[in-house]
Structure 1
């Protein structure tokens, strides 16, 4: 077997230019397969860890997926809001450790505005229960002097070039109409959050009192004619929220999850629902599964094309090697040894391509990790290939070996006389 391996290696080296192209083709297919698999895993992990440490998310009665979309990912809008009395009743439940209300609906230059309380910076978690960290500045506080303060996400600061002390004007809704700008009540940036790779990076956080202040002279989504209230006068009024969009809830014990869910479901003052973030995120991911499967199908097709190229090149070069194979037969090599020779060559070529592709994938992840985080908020984890990736590499190796059996079988059937006297 050692002699056969050496012979296969020397034979492959003699045709190194052509085989190098096949190795490169297999490496690219391996790179694509492993890259898509790693990206799929990391995107799903980031997706599932957009919020952690929150036991329930309570909102108006709607679909669980829709609630997660606007409450966590700032996508879409709520069909209804929750009354402040309901928020207080929820917080008063003995199983509830903390609540973080959030109010959505405004924006700033395409970024979502999140009205919340200082408890948001204390209790919100992402990833492996990682807390929010301020890169610069501080969180906003309670009281009259903090009404017009804002804490922005890392992507907002980077893309808009904002720093501490920056004045910003919020827009009502998506900001499509200039008349909806709250230009009379600007906010001041007092803090910039460190990058998290979650929708927090793309959010502008202001106090709930600030949400109330900018809407005091608005009604039904439009400014009230002749009822202009200055920023100072608005801050001096009672700014207790009337409604919020959703509530993040932390419990004293995970065992109380279903009890609190039943309480929310049976709450009589208004229709509410409570969803478990993990369950809802899995359900939401299933909605996005078609795109994931399409990417996997494309990478599999690329791998199949690469292996087909391996077969085509070996078959195309077989006529040129018929004399070589006939000489091997004449010195005592049997048909099975010839078959084994070509099978080993195909396996070596495939192994080189797979290893090169795996190394290229690992290098790309290491080099592009910071860029992906800074530009797209996507965390790429440089780690040893997992079971799914090892399985893909094994399938590629098996596929390459099986592909090499096709020309090997043809060589197996070549006769000695045919090899010594090839047809013109």
Structure 2
């Protein structure tokens, strides 16, 4: 029966190839949507670990998470340095990492922080940051680059870079009077850290001493050497990460910060914020799944239509098979086997096509969107999707198979005019 089904399909190779390719495209789309969805969630979830609270100016939970961790969007306001020091000195706090955003270098975000960033920041499964080259910054005008920044821009240790005011890819407001020397390059992490330029908090103050409201003050230039003689203690920061001595105190400290009377603050739990982010993107994810499922249905119906169309042309073939001893259930099995073969071939080709596309675009997706698309084996959800496609193809093939089963021997041998 398998050999007979194969020869029958080869005899109609043009229609068969078109049908298989249609199923392959729909399979690649459905499984691709699931792969991108799961990898996006994995990439976001692995960006930050080991941090109990993120504190910033009063804002929405998701907004605070996006700009403080993923470098997306803009903060509503800053946190005063005095407030930061007061919270950092709380008995329940084990460590804090202040961060200051607002500048950039050739389209990459600049993050002002302290040495605590390299000591306490964790990603993935509580993995610490590691240096591929060099060491953390020590001087005011030293910088540590993420792996992607160094690779894309061709930087190495000892090179000088100039920071631009604002976060635009192209800026005409450069802090070119205070260049930074590259002291270290971080190892790849697969997180926004790779696309960040890290400088000391004191450097953020130094480069803005002769600036006000986003513009350089005319006639009040302060050189890099002169800036070092000023008090470079930050007046404010964008946000800060908090690690606690005991997680039992997490909710108590969060409530105290949210009710802080000195200024309007928000303290969020990273895991809870991520869940809220998933709830916001869930509608879009379901819409993409629905579109992909509709494409699969169209592909399966196309296969069923192709089988029905050729069934009328194969009336004589079916009759000859019946005349040499084939039973009706043999015809039923033959047509079901053809439908199963077409669906299975489409699924295999679709998976291969998907992996080829992923291999081609994964570099671009990582550099442009920070989305790391893995080439691992299909996940359980993807296998369920493939099984659903196979089952749908088998069910759709039952319609022409049943019609072939019901036709009599004389139907194929009779001459129609």
Q: 1:174 Cα deviation (Å)? A: 2.8
My pick for the range that moved more, 162-171 or 394-403, is 162-171
Kept after mapping to 1: 8 A contact 2:106/2:170: no
Answer yes or no: is 1:109 the counterpart of 2:106. yes
Answer yes or no: is 1:307 the counterpart of 2:304. no
Q: 1:111 Cα deviation (Å)? A: 1.6
Who is 1:128 aligned against?
Answer: 125
Q: State the SS of the aligned residue for 1:101.
A: strand
Equivalent of 1:287, from 272, 277, 280?
280
Answer yes or no: is 1:56 the counterpart of 2:49. no
Who is 2:200 aligned against?
Answer: 207
Q: State the SS of the aligned residue for 2:87.
A: helix
Kept after mapping to 2: 8 A contact 1:29/1:357: yes
Q: 1:104 Cα deviation (Å)? A: 0.8
Equivalent of 1:92, from 89, 97, 102?
89
Q: 1:306 Cα deviation (Å)? A: 1.8
Counterparts of 1:119 and 1:308, CA distance in 2? 59
Instruction: Output aligned runs, 1:11-410, within 5 Å.
Output: 11-141=8-138, 146-174=139-167, 180-362=173-355, 365=358, 373=366, 377-410=370-403
Q: 1:139 Cα deviation (Å)? A: 1.2
Kept after mapping to 2: 8 A contact 1:108/1:171: yes
Residue by residue over 1:18-58, the C-alpha shift from the partner in whole angstroms, topping out at 9 and shown as x without a partner, is: 32332233223222222221122111110122211111100
Residue by residue over 1:199-255, the C-alpha shift from the partner in whole angstroms, topping out at 9 and shown as x without a partner, is: 212211100000111112223333333322211111122211111000011112222
Question: How many residues are aligned here?
Answer: 417
- Contiguous gaps of at least 5 residues in structure 2: none
My pick for the range that moved more, 12-21 or 98-107, is 12-21
Kept after mapping to 2: 8 A contact 1:99/1:249: yes
Q: State the SS of the aligned residue for 1:288.
A: helix
Counterparts of 1:76 and 1:369, CA distance in 2? 24
Counterparts of 1:368 and 1:335, CA distance in 2? 50
Counterparts of 2:360 and 2:219, CA distance in 1? 58
My pick for the range that moved more, 86-95 or 239-248, is 86-95
Q: 1:85 to 1:124 in 2, by over 3 A?
A: same
Who is 1:412 aligned against?
Answer: 405
Counterparts of 2:363 and 2:180, CA distance in 1? 31
Kept after mapping to 2: 8 A contact 1:340/1:408: yes
Counterparts of 2:408 and 2:164, CA distance in 1? 82
Q: 1:108 to 1:389 in 2, by over 3 A?
A: same
Counterparts of 1:239 and 1:94, CA distance in 2? 27
Counterparts of 1:83 and 1:135, CA distance in 2? 34
Residue by residue over 1:78-115, the C-alpha shift from the partner in whole angstroms, topping out at 9 and shown as x without a partner, is: 12111111111111122211100001111222221110
Q: 1:263 Cα deviation (Å)? A: 1.9
Q: 1:254 to 1:363 in 2, by over 3 A?
A: farther
Q: 1:177 Cα deviation (Å)? A: 8.6
Q: 1:103 to 1:382 in 2, by over 3 A?
A: same
Q: State the SS of the aligned residue for 1:180.
A: coil
Counterparts of 1:129 and 1:59, CA distance in 2? 23
- Contiguous gaps of at least 5 residues in structure 1: none
My pick for the range that moved more, 346-355 or 270-279, is 346-355
Residue by residue over 1:103-145, the C-alpha shift from the partner in whole angstroms, topping out at 9 and shown as x without a partner, is: 111122222111000111111112222222222222112xxxx
Kept after mapping to 2: 8 A contact 1:48/1:282: no
Q: 1:222 to 1:14 in 2, by over 3 A?
A: closer
Q: 1:367 Cα deviation (Å)? A: 7.1
Kept after mapping to 1: 8 A contact 2:77/2:238: yes
